[in-house]
Amino acid sequence: MADPTKSPPLTRDSVIAAHALIKQYIHYTPVLTNATLTELASTPQSASALANTQWAGQEPAKPKIRLWFKCENLQKVGAFKVRGAFHALTRLVAEEGWEAGGGRGRGVVTHSSGNHAQALALAARTMGVPAHIVMPKISTPSKIAATKGYGAKIIFSGSTSTEREAVVEEVIKETGARLVPPYDHPDIMLGQGTLGIELQEQVARMIAEGGEGQPKCSFALKGHRGKRKGLDAIIAPCGGGGMLSGTAISCEGTGISVFGAEPSFEGADDCKRGVEQGKRIETVKTLTIADGLRTPVGAYPWSVIYERKLVRQMFSVTEDQIKKALRLVLERMKVVVEPSAVVGLATALFNEDFRQLIEQESGEEGWDLGIAFSGGNVSVEALGKMFEPPVAKAERQEGLVGVSGEKIAENVAGKKHQEKS
């Protein structure tokens, strides 16, 4: 990895410079709107929906929210990670003495559950550098296959960050490869922050050009168009914190608030808990369905999120809320995203603390809220299992549904026939 002490300062200007450096390698991903999801976000939740939550008995929030989705699921390799990977590797290749010292031949190494793995594999192939990728054994098969498809060498490890990092150290000893971490480095953070720069520009332009009644901005509120210049806030998922911290840096000095969203399952909301406790939580062990968010927040991102206070607040959502948000995106937007990508949307739809904050601060005018769809690397099989009916799931677990996908009825009939014979 390039020496972090020689990285550019963590400022908005540095994010803009990073964008100029990598824009030849990345897609300028679209920003989409959706009137149905915007209406749902602006509709109070029912008393029954809040009945079994910490907000039971409270008056439901009545925020006015206009949603803008930055579609990094349509980015190269299907995720925002390619931004940080290209920025970090471009700077590493340009490091004085790296080429002369045989750095290109030894290559680079990282650990990732899939998205950063694919991103670094693509960046390395583009720049002619060998890539060694340490992946948890439980990584999504499609992400493993894609990483191999970009020409990287895969080394498997356990699922925790501690287990991954131990294998990375072994690879470094054997090969002399340079580490390109998935999130805990200034160059990675600045690269990821470029999506924030694009999102700000795109929404401001769409508001200015769209106008009321136009497809680009069809949900503009009457009487307020003249006051609206762009985003009021962005909410982004947080795993290691590279994208969240980079986005926060990109918004510094703009007046745009930045919030983070995490799964609550099995302590996956380590950044939220760390902020509340005033101390970074360094280890996490969770099997949340948002598999891209299973890592603890890194030290460099933490310095931006907590110490510099560039992220206003962290929020968390349940597995069920993530699934509901994912279903809405699939069925209403017709866009394929992975579970990690919708934790921000789930927060806007279901977290009453966040919704009340918007209601209190925005009043009648409401907020233009940017949501980062971090990636779309999810297999059809995984989606099928996630949303299969409980009965079908029980039957599959009992071995009545084969991997070839035969109907349950046919399997049951065959089993009964075997019992009779």
**Phi, psi torsion values for 65, nearest 5 degrees:** -130, 130
Label each residue of the chain as H, E or C.
Answer: CCCHHHCCCCCHHHHHHHHHHHCCCCCCCCEECCHHHHHHHCCCCCHHHHCCCCCCCCCCCCCCEEEEEEEHHHCHHHECHHHHHHHHHHHHHCCCCCCCCCHHHHCEEEECCCHHHHHHHHHHHHCCCCEEEEEECCCCHHHHHHHHHCCCEEEEECCCHHHHHHHHHHHHHHHCCEECCCCCCHHHHHHHCHHHHHHHHHHHHHHHHHCCCCHHHCCCCCCCHHHCCCCCEEEEECCCCHHHHHHHHHHCCCCCEEEEEEECHHHCCHHHHHHHHCCCCCCCCCCCCCHHHCCCCCHHHHHHHHHCCCCCEEEEECHHHHHHHHHHHHHHHCCCCCHHHHHHHHHHHHCHHHHHHHHHHHCCCCEEEEEEECECCCCHHHHHHHHCCHHHHHHHHCCCCCCCCCCHHHHHHHHHHHHHC
> In this predicted structure, what is the pLDDT of residue 159?
78
Which of these ranges, 50-54, 140-144, 295-299, 358-362, has the smallest mean pLDDT?
A: 140-144
Mean pLDDT computed over 239-250: 97
> In this predicted structure, what is the pLDDT of residue 206?
95
Confirm or reject CATH 3.40.50.1100 for domain 4-78+188-373, answering yes or no: yes
**Are 291 and 140 a contacting pair, CB within 8 Å?**
yes
Percent above pLDDT 70 for the chain = 88
Site of tokens 């803008």: 68
Rounded distance between C-alpha atoms, residue 284 and residue 289, angstroms: 14
The answer to whether residue 21 scores a pLDDT higher than 60 is yes
Query: For the segment 116-135, what is each residue's pLDDT rounded down to a tens digit?
Result: 999 999 999 999 999 999 99
Active site residue 272: no
> In this predicted structure, what is the pLDDT of residue 211?
46
Give the amino acid at 331: E
Sorted by where each begins, the domain ranges of the chain are 4-78+188-373, 90-185, 390-420
Of 14, 42, 113, 264, the catalytic one is 113
* Burial status of residue 321 (CB atoms within 10 A of its CB: 0-12, 13-18, 19 or more): buried
The answer to whether residue 28 scores a pLDDT higher than 80 is yes
Cα dihedral 46, 50, 52, 53, rounded to 10, equals 170
Output the six-digit token pair for 12.
């908005």
Write down the mean pLDDT value for the chain: 89
The answer to whether residue 185 scores a pLDDT higher than 90 is yes
Site of tokens 């999130």: 183
> In this predicted structure, what is the pLDDT of residue 74?
98
> In this predicted structure, what is the pLDDT of residue 227?
67
Output the six-digit token pair for 314.
């962290």
User: What Å distances lie between residue 213 and 38, 82, 210, 392, 399, CA to CA?
Assistant: 15, 36, 8, 44, 53
> In this predicted structure, what is the pLDDT of residue 363?
83
Output the six-digit token pair for 33.
């709107």
Identical topology for domains 4-78+188-373 and 90-185: yes
The answer to whether residue 178 scores a pLDDT higher than 60 is yes
CATH number of 90-185: 3.40.50.1100
> In this predicted structure, what is the pLDDT of residue 404?
40
**Are 71 and 29 a contacting pair, CB within 8 Å?**
yes
The answer to whether residue 224 scores a pLDDT higher than 50 is no
The answer to whether residue 277 scores a pLDDT higher than 70 is yes
Query: For the segment 365-419, what is each residue's pLDDT rounded down to a tens digit?
Result: 999 999 999 999 888 888 999 998 876 655 655 664 444 444 434 444 444 444 4
Which has more pLDDT, 228 or 213? Answer: 228
Can you give the pTM of this predicted structure? 0.87
Rounded distance between C-alpha atoms, residue 190 and residue 245, angstroms: 9
> In this predicted structure, what is the pLDDT of residue 103?
83
Percent above pLDDT 90 for the chain = 73
Active site residue 227: no
- Which residues, in sequence order, are CB contacts of 258 under 8 Å at separation 6+? 233, 234, 235, 236, 244, 247, 248, 251, 310, 311, 312
Of 81, 112, 139, 257, the catalytic one is 81
